[in-house]
Amino acid sequence: MPELPGAETLRGASKMKRRFVIGLTGGIATGKTTVLKEFARAGIPTLSSDALAHACLRPGHPVYRRVVRRFGRKILRDQGRICRRHLGRIVFAKPAERTWLERQIHPAVIRQLKSFIRKHRGLVALDIPLLFEARLGSLVDATLVVGSSRRSQIARMKRRDRLSDKDARQRIRSQLPLGLKMKRADYTLRNDGSRAALRSGVRALVGRLQEKGLTRE
């Protein structure tokens, strides 16, 4: 599919559904959060599956208790909170443990995504980093993939998450190749330039969808 700006068509858009769900995905540290915020600024209902997953790891949640039993209190920090950086090092180094963790978290996240979708009409944007990997395409009407160079991804992870170069590359390898995701997407955005350029691309997409009547009752 052509990259925005410039993409003019979207599979299924001509059906003019009362609800149209965009599934936002991409690689680690490609700019998905910035894109989701731009949808929200345009008045579009948005939800981040990462935020839902983080909530599952808070004290008191059933998933939290299972995770602590599995990995021990060594993953805890002040006030019994799970250190996601420590947990991440464990599960990204051991694929079997990462699979186990995802099986605990995904059902709870999917239930909340479905509930959010049912409550809204018009255009809805969901940030689902593992949309393709977890085969969650049935939740959305179209996909938007945010991509960037591997060099940009690594630089952002090292700055944002304080990861080593080795850990950053390991996390990139844990997901489907970004190029493959972009080929499978209905829309793509590149994030190797300025933040202003990225925001402009999102606004262009929102405008096209609104012109098609997807946000009208």
> How is residue 141 written in tokens?
């009407």
Q: What is the chain's mean pLDDT, rounded?
A: 88
Range in 67-71, 83-87, 187-191, 204-208 with the lowest mean pLDDT: 204-208
The domains of the chain are located at 1-10+17-45+122-209, 50-119
CATH 3.40.50.300 correct for 1-10+17-45+122-209:
yes
Assess whether pLDDT exceeds 50 at residue 109: yes
Quick: pLDDT tens for 33-56.
999 999 999 999 999 999 999 999
Q: How confident is the model at residue 193 (pLDDT cuts 50, 70, 90)?
A: confident
**Which listed CATH number (3.40.50.2000, 3.40.50.300, 3.40.190.10, 2.40.50.70) goes with 50-119?**
3.40.50.300
pLDDT at residue 17 in the model: 53
The yes-or-no answer to whether 1-10+17-45+122-209 and 50-119 have a common fold is yes
